[in-house]
């Protein structure tokens, strides 16, 4: 805790890693727009109460993982552990449901959970997500899943499974919960200590347990499909059918319950065997009751979020970077070199100059290190004639060129 290290579980993104991040961000933006989703940005800090009322006051996220603190005025605040609750809060606070009955939104930003750090699990991480408000119909569940699948396709992430389940209506979930509690009570002593604790508070989460002791008990537990009413079944079947018709294979998983309390009907998770223990790199579902539970109108909603760091672990191909194209070298003429560089940048070329007044030889070495294809040399003799030298490094060819025609000459050199 020297203060000179990043906080445990929180990471810097260094320049060499940034091209990959930017490629992801670009795909998020493009695909969201392709489906008519608009961006929204909400604060990183919210009142802690917001998450107690949405993610759930018995969920692991709220009880064990949330960064909460009192500010100097004594308000209980939290670093957001996810972004959905904040988006719902913003929609209500600004009266957006009075303006329109359908909102398609997307977001990208940091989230915080105090979890034990390991590969793919951090205390500060980033989420990209979309939320669709205003449709109770399976078309909207399918739409958000297709958005997610399109993002993965554009990023070249192919080896994954989409796990799908339904939690049914609130009543279905309630009945299922009771049946689970009854069952788990009857086998209580066989459960891990952690699951015994969860039994009364959050029995659905026992289904998610990774503890070996729980596995045989969970395998015998009642499954939610036996509790579905006609409405819940019909919704689930339509989603399944539409995904199949759209060529998106799903794995039906009756034990998928998700770690947040707000879900009804469809829940899903994107999992990859490549990720090890933290195998879910995205998840979401329908949350028809959330807006109303915040005191808003009855607005159905569905959405998902990807964990950006986990997606990066799955991206094997290096995306193309944006390497520097031109190095402007000069023989003790830094001001002129800066003017030439400005002229090239105005023409759209990624250009750098020497900032350390080094020898010409050192400048060429630097150009080599950067793998720049073209060097523009500013030297006294040519400058007096209103010209510079353009040099193609790989071909070791160079020629003089009038300053006024520089952009054309650089274009020609770059296309060689
Ligand atoms: P979530 O499943 O809690 O859902 O988180 C979504 C994704 O965030 C996970 O699949 C994972 O990739 C990533 N993630 C979560 N915790 C960590 C961590 N400690 N380190 C790295 N990545 C992590 C939600 O947050 C919901 N708000 C999704 C949603 C949107 N549901 C409806 N709309």
Read off the DSSP letter of residue 102.
-
Determine whether the shortest distance from the Cβ of 284 to ligand 1 is under 6 A.
Answer: yes
Same domain? For 103 and 24 the reply is yes
Helices 334-346, 406-414: crossing angle, 10 deg rounding: 70
Strands annotated E in 293-404: 301-307, 326-330, 351-353, 374-378, 387-392, 397-402
Sequential pLDDT tens for the chain (416 residues): 678 999 999 999 999 899 899 999 999 999 999 999 999 999 999 999 999 999 998 888 999 999 999 999 999 999 999 999 999 999 999 999 999 999 999 999 999 999 999 999 999 999 999 999 999 999 999 999 999 999 999 998 988 999 999 999 989 999 999 999 999 999 999 999 999 988 988 899 899 888 999 999 999 999 999 999 999 999 999 999 999 999 999 999 999 999 888 999 999 999 998 888 778 999 999 999 999 999 999 999 999 999 999 999 998 755 556 789 999 999 999 999 999 999 999 999 999 999 999 999 999 999 999 999 999 999 999 999 999 999 999 999 999 999 999 999 999 999 98
Distance 118 CA to ligand 1 centre (A): 15
Distance 3 CA to ligand 1 centre (A): 28
Final residue in a domain of this structure, among 251, 281, 314: 314
Which residue among 305, 308, 313, 314 is best mutated to probe the pocket of ligand 1, counting the most ligand atoms within 8 A of its Cβ?
A: 305
DSSP for 71-93 reads -TT--EEEE-S-SHHHHHHHHHH
Same domain? For 337 and 400 the reply is yes
Same domain? For 138 and 244 the reply is yes
- Overall number of domains in the chain: 2
Domain membership flag for residue 175: no
Task: Return d(Cα 312, Cα 334) in angstroms, integer.
Answer: 40
Task: Return d(Cα 312, Cα 319) in angstroms, integer.
Answer: 11
* Rounded (5°) CA angle 182-183-188: 100
Same domain? For 50 and 119 the reply is yes
Final residue in a domain of this structure, among 293, 314, 335: 314
Same domain? For 366 and 281 the reply is no
Determine whether the shortest distance from the Cβ of 103 to ligand 1 is under 6 A.
Answer: no
Task: Return d(Cα 383, Cα 401) in angstroms, integer.
Answer: 10
DSSP β-bridge partners for residue 377 = 329, 389
* Rounded (5°) CA angle 46-47-51: 85
Domain that holds residue 403: 326-414
Task: Return d(Cα 340, Cα 324) in angstroms, integer.
Answer: 15
Which residue among 283, 291, 311 is best mutated to probe the pocket of ligand 1, counting the most ligand atoms within 8 A of its Cβ?
A: 283
Final residue in a domain of this structure, among 253, 280, 314: 314
Domain membership flag for residue 284: yes
Domain membership flag for residue 409: yes
Domain at 22, CATH number: 3.30.930.10
Same domain? For 343 and 304 the reply is no
Which residue among 127, 261, 264, 277 is best mutated to probe the pocket of ligand 1, counting the most ligand atoms within 8 A of its Cβ?
A: 127
Domain membership flag for residue 1: no
Same domain? For 125 and 50 the reply is yes
DSSP β-bridge partners for residue 376 = 328, 390
Distance 20 CA to ligand 1 centre (A): 20
Distance 188 CA to ligand 1 centre (A): 30
Task: Return d(Cα 246, Cα 146) in angstroms, integer.
Answer: 8
Whole-number CA gyration radius for the chain: 28
Q: pTM to 2 decimals?
A: 0.85
Determine whether the shortest distance from the Cβ of 82 to ligand 1 is under 6 A.
Answer: yes
Distance 413 CA to ligand 1 centre (A): 47
Domain at 348, CATH number: 3.40.50.800
């Amino acid at each position: 805790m020297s203060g000179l290290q990043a906080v445990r579980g929180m990471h810097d993104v260094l320049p060499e890693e940034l091209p990959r991040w930017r490629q992801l961000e670009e795909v998020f933006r493009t695909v969201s727009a392709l489906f008519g989703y608009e961006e929204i940005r909400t604060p990183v800090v919210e009142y802690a109460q917001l998450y107690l009322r949405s993610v759930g006051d018995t969920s692991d996220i709220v009880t064990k993982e949330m960064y909460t603190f009192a500010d100097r005025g004594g308000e209980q605040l939290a670093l957001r552990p996810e972004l959905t609750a904040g988006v719902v809060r913003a929609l209500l606070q600004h009266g957006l449901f009075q303006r329109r009955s359908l909102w398609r939104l997307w977001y990208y930003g940091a989230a915080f959970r105090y979890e034990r750090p390991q590969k793919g699990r951090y205390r500060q991480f980033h989420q990209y997500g979309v939320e669709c408000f205003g449709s109770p119909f399976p078309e909207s569940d399918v739409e958000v899943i297709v958005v997610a699948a399109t993002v993965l396709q554009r990023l070249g992430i192919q080896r994954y499974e989409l796990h799908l389940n339904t939690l049914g209506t609130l009543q279905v979930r309630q009945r299922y919960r009771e049946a689970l509690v009854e069952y788990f009570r009857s086998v209580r002593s066989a459960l891990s200590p952690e699951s015994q604790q969860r039994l009364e508070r959050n029995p659905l989460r026992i289904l998610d347990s990774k503890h070996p002791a729980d596995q045989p008990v969970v395998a015998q537990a009642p499954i939610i499909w036996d509790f579905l009413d006609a409405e819940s079944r019909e919704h689930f079947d339509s989603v399944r059918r539409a995904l199949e018709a759209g060529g998106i294979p799903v794995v039906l998983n009756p034990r998928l319950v998700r770690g947040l309390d707000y879900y009804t009907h469809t829940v899903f998770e994107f999992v990859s065997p490549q990720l090890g223990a933290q195998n879910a790199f995205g998840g979401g579902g329908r949350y028809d009751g959330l807006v109303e539970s915040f005191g808003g109108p009855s607005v159905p909603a569905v959405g998902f979020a990807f964990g950006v760091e986990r997606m990066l672990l799955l991206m094997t191909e290096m995306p193309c970077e944006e390497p520097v194209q031109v190095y402007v070298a000069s023989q003790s003429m830094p001001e002129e070199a800066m003017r030439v560089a400005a002229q090239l940048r105005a023409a759209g070329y990624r250009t750098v100059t020497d900032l350390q007044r080094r020898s010409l030889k050192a400048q060429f070495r630097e150009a080599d290190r950067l793998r720049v294809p073209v060097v523009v040399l500013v030297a006294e003799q040519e400058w007096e004639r209103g010209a510079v030298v353009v040099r193609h490094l790989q071909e070791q060819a160079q020629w003089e060129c009038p300053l006024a025609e520089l952009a054309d000459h650089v274009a020609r050199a770059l296309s060689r």
